Amino acid sequence: MKCIACDVILSDFESTRKEVKYGTFLDMCNRCLVRSDATMETTERYDLYNGEFDAGESEMQNLLPEDQA
């Protein structure tokens, strides 16, 4: 599966991210999600997060829950 914004291949972590209100998959990589204007609540599969994030460590902290940040 690829990011709908930049067309890169999504990791398992990214490809399982859902928007809470409607339950739809977002199909966006971490970089595009962080840089988008999206202010929606999401559910993440943190067990699939492998620690890699290329948009900058401070930006990733915004996606992780407080106990994992």
Q: What is the pLDDT of residues 13-42, one digit of tens each?
A: 999 999 988 999 999 988 888 888 667 788
Using a 10 angstrom Cβ sphere, with 0-12 exposed, 13-18 middle and 19 or more buried, the burial of residue 8 is: middle
- DSSP count for the chain of H helices, then E strands: 3, 2
In this predicted structure, what is the pLDDT of residue 67? 57
- Which residues are 69's β-sheet partners? none
